[in-house]
Amino acid sequence: MTAGRSNRRQFLAAAAIGVATPIILRGTMAMAAQPVTVKIRNGVLRGAQGHGAISFKGIPYAASTAGANRFKAPQPVVDWTGERDATKYGPLSPQINTGMSGDIFQWYNQNEPLGEDCCVLNVFTPDLKADARRPVMFYIHGGGYINGGGGSIGQDGSNLARYGDVVVVTINHRLNAFGYTNLSHLDPEHFGDAANAGNLDIVAALEWVRDNIAAFGGDPESVTVFGQSGGGSKIMTLLAMPKAQGLFHRAISMSGAAGLNVDPAAAMEPYANAFVKELGVVPKNLAAAQQIRMQTVLDARNRAVAASFEGARPVIDGKHIVTRPMTAEGLAMHAKVPMLLGSTKTEASLFFQGDMRNFKITEEQMRVRMRTVFKIDDAKIDRIMAAYRKASPEMTPSDILVAVASDVQFRLPLTGAAETKSGAAGQAPVYMYNFNWTIPWEGGVLGSPHAVDIPFAFGTVNEAGEMTGQGDDAMETSMNLMSAFVNFARTGNPSNDRMPEWKPYGTTTRTTMLVDAKCEAAGDWRGDALREVSTLKIDPFNRAALYKYEG
C-alpha cells in the first residue's frame, strides 16, 4: 500500500455540516461488529454495532413475492417469534446482471443470491434512542428498472448516518419482469397491479418506515427519499402516486431523468404480450405464470426484449400512477415536497467507456454520429460546438459528443423539471446541482461519469479507492455532497457552511451548485449549450449508434 493510500485510510475529521455535529469518518470496513437488538412491529431484530454505527440488514417489509404473490401487490409480513438475524443483506430481486464491469466500479457490485423474497431493507443509525427523531434518508438504488440492489459496499449507510446524525435506509424491491410487466389488459381483475408492482414495493417500504423507524431513532415525519439513476427515476414516479402521499417529505433525484417519461399502460402492451407468449402461457390462464421457474421467467423476458420491444418500466395505469410527474396534476399531488435535482458533468462517459477509442475521435467522426443519431445538419452541429466551446474552449470533439449525450439524456430533462416546478404556483423550492469532480482513472478521461456520485453521497470513497485514487480531494468532495444532502434532509434547503450561498432554482437565475472539492454556485451553467441541444432526441432503439465506435 502506498503512503498516499495509507493516509487516505486514516480517520479524517469531518467539518461541521451546519446543524449537524462534526464526527469522524472511518478508515476501513474491517472492524469488529457487536450484536444489538431492537423491537419492531413484527418482532425482535438482531443487528450489529460496528463501523461507528448500528446496522440491521435484510429486514422484510413485505412477504415473499413468489408463487401466488408473483405479479401481485406486496403482501404483509408474518410476525415472527424470538430474535430474527438482521446482520446480512437479503436476496436481490431476480435479474440478469447485478453490477457494473471494471475494477473502478467494484464498490457498486453485490454478491447476494437472487430470490423472490427480495422485499427487504437495511437500516443504519448512530444509536437506538427512540426519542432522537433523526431525519430519515431513504435510498433507492440504481440499475434502471432492470437490475441493482441496495446492499453494495458503496451503499453502506454507516458513514452517512454518523456524519449527518441521520437514519439511513436502503432497499431492494422487484425489478424487470417481476416488478414492471403490464398485464392489466389481459387480466385486470387478478393482475391489475403487475405493471407497477416494483413501485408498490417502494411504497410498502416507506409504510414500513412510517410504522417502525422511530425504534431506530428516526423521525417518520421527516423522510427524504434519495436515489441515483433508476432510483432517482423511481422517485420521480413516486411523485405521481397518490398512495405515496405523506410518506416522504423531501426528494433528491440523482440523474433520475428517465422517471419523467412515464407513458400510458398501453405503451407496454406489445412487450407484455411478447413476454407472455415467450413464457408459453395463454392470457386467459396467467396464473400459470406464477408457478414458472424464476430463471425461465428471466429468459422469457430477455427473448421478448430481443424482439425489439423496450423492457419493463412503470406506466400510467390510472390506479397507482395517475399522471406524469411534472404535469399540473402531478405537481399538485406533492406540492409541499422540496426537491433537489442533479446530474454528473459527463454522465455519458460511462457508456462510451465500452470502447476507449471513443475518447479520441476526430471532428468528422463526431459529426457523423451527431448526424446519424440526432438527424441534424452540419450547420446545427457548428452551433452546438460553438455553444460548448464558448464556456470551455479546450473541449475536444470527444468531449463535445460526451457533453451532448450527457445533457440530452440527463441534465436537460432534469432542468426542465426544475423549471416546471419552480414556475408553478404554490410549490416548494427546487434546487439543482451538477457533480463535477473528475475521477483520476486513466488520466481523468471519464471525467465525472454516471454513478460516480454514489460513494460520495454515502461517504464510502475509501471503499471506492480504485475509482477515486489517492489524495484528500475525494474526501473533501464527499463531505461537500453529504453536507448538502443532510441539510436538505433536515431542513428542505441544501445550503451549508462548506459551500457558497445556494439559492433555489428559478428561470431568472438558474442557480446550479457545481459540486467539487471546492464548490461554486453558477448561474445558468452551460445555458447556451443546453438551449442549443434542447430539441435533440435520442431514439431508444437507436441509442447504440451513439456509443458505437466507427473508425
What CATH number is associated with residue 428? 3.40.50.1820
* Shared domain check, 155 and 66: yes
Q: Do 114 and 229 fall into the same domain? A: yes
The verdict on residue 7 lying in a domain is no
Q: Tell me, yes or no, whether 537 lies in a domain.
A: yes
Residues 285 and 368 in one domain: no
Are 25 and 11 a contacting pair, CB within 8 Å?
yes
- Predicted TM-score (pTM) of this structure: 0.94
Q: Answer whether residue 437 is part of any domain.
A: yes
Q: Evaluate whether residue 25 is within a structural domain.
A: no
- 171 and 306, same structural domain? yes
Question: Is 279 in the same domain as 377?
Answer: no
Q: What is the Cα–Cα distance from 118 to 63, expressed in whole angstroms?
A: 9
Name the domain boundary from 337, 366, 395.
337
Amino acid making up residue 70: R
Strands 315-316 and 263-264: parallel
Kindly state whether residue 195 falls inside one of the protein's structural domains. Answer: yes
Residue 22 in any domain: the answer is no
Residue 348 sits in the same domain as residue 257: no
- Which residue ranges in the chain fall short of pLDDT 50? 1-30
Last residue of a domain, one of 276, 302, 337: 337
pLDDT of residue 33: 64
Asked whether residue 328 falls in the same domain as residue 468, the answer is: no
SS3 label, residue 53: strand
103 occurs within a structural domain? yes
Going by C-beta distance under 8 Å and a sequence separation of 6 or more, which residues neighbour residue 435? 342, 343, 344, 345, 448, 452, 453, 456, 481, 515
Residues forming a β-bridge with 253: 227, 341
- Quick one: 519 exposed, middle or buried, by C-beta within 10 A (0-12, 13-18, 19+)? buried
Work out how many domains the chain is built from and give that number: 2
User: Distance between CA atoms of 132 and 347, rounded to whole angstroms?
Assistant: 38
Verify that 77 and 215 share a domain, yes or no: yes
240 and 363 housed in the same domain? no
* Final residue before a domain boundary, out of 299, 317, 337: 337
State whether 295 and 225 are in the same domain: yes
Grid coordinates given for 289: 405464470
Q: Is 349 in the same domain as 301?
A: no
Residue ranges making up the domain that contains 295 = 31-337
* pLDDT at residue 19, as a whole number: 38
* Beta-sheet pairing, 34-40 with 24-25: unpaired
For residue 399, is it within any domain? yes
Whether residue 366 is found in the same domain as residue 493: yes
